[in-house]
């Protein structure tokens, strides 16, 4: 019997968790198959299936509670793959600033460009929307990000 897309993704989640939450995204691996059966009127996932994804969504055993505890690592999702950022920012506990809860990506221009380029290319090549309307939101985000990195005043939406 052939597995459905969710069963395949659940197997990929096992691999993903074992790799420490980095590598190809389990749901990106089954995207085409999942979208093939999509309908506004079909149930996409049951409550039990959603609950079973907790270890994928929260890919850590526990949050740090002491200064010596290792912080939770949070990777970037770029082009369907979770990658550790080149630079991280530390998020401390509001209750005790000595405890570092997690290290969050402090994405630089290269990582931002890679994510936006992939999104822009996918959006334009997907064929889901006409080119004139499909690129407008991503173009606006790209222009806004490039303005922000040049320390110009923030952009207003067109």
Domain boundaries, the chain: 1-59, 62-107, 110-149
Band (157; pLDDT cuts 50, 70, 90): very low
Provide the whole-model pTM. Answer: 0.62
User: Percentage of the chain surpassing pLDDT 90?
Assistant: 34
Query: What's the average model confidence in pLDDT over 117-132?
Result: 72
User: Given this model, what pLDDT does residue 29 score?
Assistant: 87
63: Cβ–Cβ under 8 A, 6 or more apart, which residues?
Answer: 72, 101, 102
């Amino acid at each position: 019997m052939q597995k459905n897309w969710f069963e395949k993704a659940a197997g990929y989640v096992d691999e993903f968790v074992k790799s420490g939450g980095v590598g190809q995204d389990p749901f990106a691996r089954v995207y085409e198959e999942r979208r093939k059966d999509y309908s506004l009127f079909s149930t996409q996932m049951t409550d039990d299936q959603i609950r079973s994804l907790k270890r994928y969504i929260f890919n850590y055993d526990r949050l740090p509670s002491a200064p010596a505890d290792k912080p939770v690592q949070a990777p970037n999702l770029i082009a369907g793959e979770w990658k550790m950022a080149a630079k991280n920012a530390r998020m401390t506990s509001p209750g005790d600033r000595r405890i570092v809860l997690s290290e969050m990506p402090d994405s630089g221009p290269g990582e931002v460009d890679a994510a936006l380029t992939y999104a822009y290319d996918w959006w334009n090549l997907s064929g889901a929307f006409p080119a004139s309307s499909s690129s407008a939101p991503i173009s606006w985000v790209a222009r806004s990000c490039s303005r922000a990195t040049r320390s110009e005043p923030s952009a207003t939406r067109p």
